């Protein structure tokens, strides 16, 4: 991670170009290492068309009896096939999920970029909203790591039933500064991948989770983003969880919590989770 920050910093100072920055953010893989059927999942292949004309690929994985739909915005590496174990566990908990690949990932066309990620998220939101209405429910957005930036972007512009954020951060400047403290670096990059600036515009219920041993996205950045969200909201610290093992460390209780929040976000924030997880309750409203 320190090498990543160094390369990023040098790229900015010497080239000053978006392509250099984004080459250190997005790590897509083409093709799939497995398909949903390999994990016992029924799925529907979905083709999206973005506003700038690219074709994106995703999977819709239904769950019996589910009305609300979880729109899954994944992180910066691999593609949707690398989330199949996670998807199978969500499905077993009764969660219907739509997961999509950003441009340049998996079977999706194009080359990844920050602007492109937002256009891709908008296309996925439109499809998910229509499907959720068809099954009598609403959309809950889930953003993990870099996907949290896409999730906050959507929630600041639309009205989802709720939003789950996991292992995500405030903005690119804070990320780079955490690992390579160059004077002015945070301010220089603060406008890129900027969830912190969009957070005050989010009005839906928010559940946020972060491992306190996260070696990629500092725990403190998750707390700072959480503080900027208006609420209603709640925060779960996953004890001794790193960046990529949150759902394994959280275990069954983690998936029960995500399922409860997806089904009824407002009610889930008021119910203490089971299985040893501790949820900081929403702050009391000020008079």
Which residues fall within 8 angstroms of residue 231, CB to CB, at 6 or more apart? 205, 206, 282, 283
Q: Which residues on neighbouring strands pair with residue 236, listed in sequence order?
A: 209, 279
- Of residues 32, 74, 210, 243, which has the active-site annotation? 243
- What are residue 169's phi and psi, to 5 degrees? -140, 180
**Region class of 87: left (phi > 0), else alpha (psi between -120 and 50), else beta:** alpha
Segments of the chain assigned E as strands:
27-28, 44-49, 55-61, 69-73, 77-78, 96-100, 139-144, 162-166, 206-211, 233-238, 279-280
214 is catalytic: yes
Cα–Cα distance, 245 to 234 (Å, whole number): 21
145 is catalytic: yes
Cα–Cα distance, 87 to 34 (Å, whole number): 13
For the chain, count helices (H), then strands (E). 11, 11
243 is catalytic: yes
Cα–Cα distance, 255 to 74 (Å, whole number): 17
Cα–Cα distance, 26 to 157 (Å, whole number): 23
- Of residues 43, 108, 113, 145, which has the active-site annotation? 145
Question: Looking at the annotation, which residues are catalytic?
Answer: 145, 214, 243
């Amino acid at each position: 991670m320190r090498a990543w920050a160094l390369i990023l910093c040098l790229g900015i100072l010497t080239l000053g170009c978006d392509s250099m920055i984004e080459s250190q953010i997005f790590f897509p893989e083409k093709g799939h290492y497995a398909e949903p059927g390999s994990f016992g999942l029924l799925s529907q292949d979905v083709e999206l068309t973005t506003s700038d004309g690219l074709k994106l690929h995703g999977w819709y994985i239904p769950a019996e009896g589910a009305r609300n739909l979880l729109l899954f915005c994944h992180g910066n590496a691999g593609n949707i096939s690398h989330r199949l174990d996670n998807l199978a566990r969500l499905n077993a908990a009764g969660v219907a999920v739509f997961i999509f690949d950003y441009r340049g990932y998996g079977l999706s066309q194009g080359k990844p970029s920050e602007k492109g990620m937002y256009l891709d998220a908008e296309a996925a939101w439109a499809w998910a909203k229509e499907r959720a209405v068809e099954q009598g429910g609403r959309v809950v957005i889930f953003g993990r790591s870099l996907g949290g930036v896409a999730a906050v972007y959507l929630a600041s512009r639309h009205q989802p039933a709720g939003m789950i954020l996991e292992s995500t951060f405030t903005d690119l400047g804070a990320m780079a500064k955490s690992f390579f403290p160059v004077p002015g670096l945070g301010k220089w990059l603060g406008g890129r991948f900027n969830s912190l600036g969009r957070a005050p515009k989010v009005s839906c219920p928010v559940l946020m989770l972060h491992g306190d041993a996260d070696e990629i996205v500092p725990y403190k950045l998750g707390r700072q983003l959480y503080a900027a969200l208006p609420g209603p909201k709640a925060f779960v610290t996953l004890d001794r969880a790193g960046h990529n093992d949150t759902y394994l460390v959280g275990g069954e209780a983690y998936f029960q919590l995500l399922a409860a929040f997806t089904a009824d976000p407002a009610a889930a924030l008021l119910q203490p989770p089971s299985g040893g997880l501790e949820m900081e309750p929403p702050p009391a409203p000020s008079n």
